[in-house]
Chains A and B, each alone.
Chain A
Amino acid sequence: MSLPEPAADAARLLGRRARIRPAEWLFWALAFAALFLLPERHLILNSIAVQALFALSYDLVLGFAGIVSLGHAAFFGVGAYAAGLMTKFVTGDPLLGLAAAGLAGGVVGFASSFLLLRGSDLTRLMVSLGVALILAEIANKAAWLTGGTDGFSGMAVGPVLGRYAFDIFGHVAFAYSLCVLFVLFVLARIVVHSPFGLSVTALHHNPLRARAVGVPVNRRLVAMYTFAAIYAGIAGGLLAQTTQFVSLDVLDFNRSADVLLMLVIGGTGYLYGGMIGAALFVLAQDQLASLTPQYWHFWIGLALVVLTLVGRERFAKRLGAFARLLPGAR
């Protein structure tokens, strides 16, 4: 059965937008090439991969669903502790640990998403910030479980798939994180180009009209937020497993602000922005921290101020030459 003409046009248009561009092959080829070409940089590459997954998750919330949140670290932190506890008390298998991390992030995300449905941007900011602060306070007070300010240690993470044990140079860690990132990215790409993802983008651009054409706005927001929270949880789990340590700063306000900055650097709403931003952010942080170990947040702050004053739209357009080669929501 063939579609009527206008519907077929629309389907073709959407299909064209979802097509895989050459630059995407290049992006992932570069990422996987780093696995073999830069073996001495695997530790920092691993942290890029983890942050990239976290930023990807935040892009789903901010760039696609249009929710400005200041507490995305909540899910990251919950995932990190979940993976840690799973490893310590149940099983050392990394993939099961990640599943626990994603589940924990998702549950917290689902529960807190209902708080975000009401009110304006400001209310959402405040509520998301409040949720993250409460969780940070819980982790701090429940020191018998989380180690409190001393951090959570004593995790013995088993080998990946029962074969590849983690080493101190981060080789296995980076390969593992990159593969997880890739798989989850492909899934996210499918989701945002699915009818579900398109309807979320639609309600971001015009909630009133989206409601009028029959998109259940609240249910879609809950689903997208939960989906993103699962990703953030897994990112936290990755961090916990690859560093074998969880400290309280996984729930820190700074972490929520950092991921916002990463996304702003890379541009929102096309999935690659967060990953590019994460790479630039982590590299810049590494350089700055070696120059001025204590004060690097000053430069991060300066970057934020300049970025917003110059206009992040304009900045994103600079990157746009590259961004246009990638599939976009713009």
Chain B
Amino acid sequence: MLTILFDGVAYGMVLFVLACGLSVTLGLMNFVNLAHGVFAMVGGYVTVLLMNDYGVPFLATLPLAFIVAAALGAVLERTLYVHLYDRSPLDQVLFTIGLVFMAVAAADYVIGSQQQLIYLPPMLSGRLHLGALDIGVYRLFLIVVCAVLVAILHYIVTRTRFGSRLRAAVDDPRVARGLGINVNAIFALTFAMGSGLAGLGGALGADILGIDPTFPLKYMIYFLIVVTVGGTSGMMGPFVAAILLGVADVAGKYYVPELGAFMIYGVMIAVLILRPQGLFARGNA
């Protein structure tokens, strides 16, 4: 029971790292980015390929996964996404679905359609037995890493100058520009960071979620659930939503496997119907 809870929390943590970039672009900037999973997939592939083909140790690949995904995000943001910020949601949907299709086919072509296996270092595999609790070491590692990331993110968004500029730029880009804030640069940097975090999430989650070319499509709905259910009030809403989703998914698959994914989708629809702005909406300011 506690083990399931623990696994669920670890899963939810990974989901949060994967989705937190999206919660900024979609939740705050109102850009419907269905291609977020692409960056996660890129990060996952960086880690897996570096480990399996070049023998780079797992921990050393994590920063690389972040950097590669962030760089890709920055390039795409500057060249393509920037043209679509003030278009209709329909245009944004079309554009990002197009990106997903291209990424899925390209990954299939370049790397192959098989599921990539990841071999964790012995230090991180194995299990710990703490009384009644039976914990995978890697799960514990995930929780610690993600918790640190969450704390840093929360600090950046709420306490630093960059965070307040970001919030200003999101709330009212025109006024922010008038105050001398370089909105475009902030959006670009935020987008790159979000993509990088997705890449890191993909790398961290490669063991749990698996990495194959259909990754962006398979997990798209999970990211969207985290963001829409979590609402747009900051980092905490999506965080709670991600943990809930992780626990619900793991528990659901364990206790009532025949229900499959119904529970997740059902809960999502119910929340959206009852609270269209998400669980943690900010008031109509």
Do B98 and A118 touch (CB < 8 A)?
Answer: no
Given contacts A127-B272, A141-B258, A300-B101, contact A307 B108 (CB under 8 A): no
Q: A3 near B: Cβ within 8 Å?
A: no
Looking across the interface, which residue of chain B has its beta carbon closest to that of A268? B90
Interface presence of A218 (CB below 8 A)? no
Contact yes or no, B89 A121, CB < 8 A: yes
Stretch from A102-110, A257-265, A276-284 that touches the partner: A257-265
User: From residue 180 to 201 of chain A, which have CB atoms closer than 8 A to chain B?
Assistant: none
Number of interface residues of B (CB under 8 A): 43
Cβ of B272 and Cβ of A119 under 8 Å apart?
yes
Indicate the member of A264, A298, A308 with the most B CB atoms within 10 Å: A308
| A212: B residues at CB distance < 8 A | none
Chain B 76-118 against A: per-residue CB contact (8 Å), 1 yes, 0 no?
0000100110011111111101111111111011000000000
Question: Count the A residues whose beta carbon is within 8 Å of the partner chain — how many?
Answer: 42
**In the complex where A127-B269, A264-B94 touch, is A305 in contact with B276 (Cβ < 8 A)?**
no
Shortest beta-carbon distance, B212 to chain A, in Å?
A: 14
Taking a contact as CB atoms closer than 8 A, the residue among A120, A129, A309 that contacts B80 in the complex is: A309
Task: Please indicate which of the listed interface residues A68, A130, A312 has the most CB atoms of chain B within 10 Å of its own CB.
Answer: A130
Does A137 contact B262, Cβ atoms closer than 8 Å?
yes
Given A133-B221, A308-B84, A309-B83, A126 and B104 contact (CB-CB distance below 8 Å) = no
B260 and A304 within 8 A (CB): no
Residue pair A301, B97 in contact (C-beta under 8 Å): yes
A144 at the interface (CB under 8 A from B): no
Question: Cα distance A257–B217 when bound, in Å?
Answer: 12
0/1 string, B250-276, CB within 8 A of A gives 1: 000000001011100110110011001
Contacts of A309 in B (CB 8 A): 80, 83-84, 95
Binding site of A, secondary structure by majority: helix, strand, loop or mixed?
Answer: helix
B111 to chain A, nearest CB (A): 13
The CA of A131 and the CA of B98, in the complex, are separated in Å by 22
Interface residue? A70 (CB, 8 A): yes
Those of A251-274 within 8 Å (CB) of chain B: 253, 257, 260-261, 264
Q: Which of A115, A141, A297, A307 contacts B273 (CB 8 A)?
A: A115
**Interfacial chain B residues near A296, Cβ < 8 Å:** 105
- Which chain B residues border A298 with CB–CB below 8 Å? 101-102, 105-106, 109
**Inter-subunit contact B94/A307 (CB<8 Å):** yes
Indicate if B224 sits at the interface (CB-CB under 8 A).
Answer: yes
> Is B70 part of the binding interface, using a Cβ–Cβ cutoff of 8 Å?
no
Bound-state Cα–Cα, A309 to B105, Å = 20
- Closest CB-CB distance, A113 to chain B, in whole Å? 13
Main secondary structure of the interface of B (DSSP, over half): helix
Q: In angstroms, how far is the closest chain A Cβ from the Cβ of B213?
A: 10
Known A133-B221, A308-B98; judge A120-B276 contact (CB<8 A).
yes
For the complex, give the distance between the alpha carbons of A120 and B278 in Å.
12
Contacts of A141 in B (CB 8 A): 258, 260
Residues in chain B near residue A302, CB distance under 8 A = 98, 102
- Residue ID in chain A nearest B97 by CB atoms: A257
Asked if A295 CB lies within 8 Å of chain B CBs, one says yes
Instruction: Check A294 for interface membership: any CB of B closer than 8 A.
Output: yes
Instruction: Say whether A122 contacts B102, CB under 8 Å.
Output: no
Given A121-B89, A126-B228, A134-B266, verify A305-B80 contact (CB < 8 Å): yes
Interfacial residues, chain A to chain B (CB-CB below 8 A)? 62, 68, 70, 115, 118-123, 125-127, 129-131, 133-134, 137-138, 140-141, 253, 257, 260-261, 264, 294-298, 300-305, 307-309, 312
B contacts, CB < 8 Å to A: 26, 30, 32, 80, 83-84, 87-95, 97-106, 108-109, 217, 221, 224-225, 228, 258, 260-262, 265-266, 268-269, 272-273, 276
| New A-B contacts (18) at CB < 8 Å, excluding given A298-B101, A301-B97 | A70-B93, A115-B273, A118-B276, A122-B26, A123-B276, A126-B268, A129-B224, A130-B221, A134-B262, A264-B94, A298-B109, A300-B101, A302-B98, A304-B94, A304-B101, A305-B80, A305-B99, A309-B95
10 inter-chain pairs at a CB distance below 8 angstroms, sorted by A residue, are: A121-B90, A123-B228, A125-B89, A131-B269, A257-B101, A301-B100, A301-B103, A302-B102, A304-B98, A308-B92
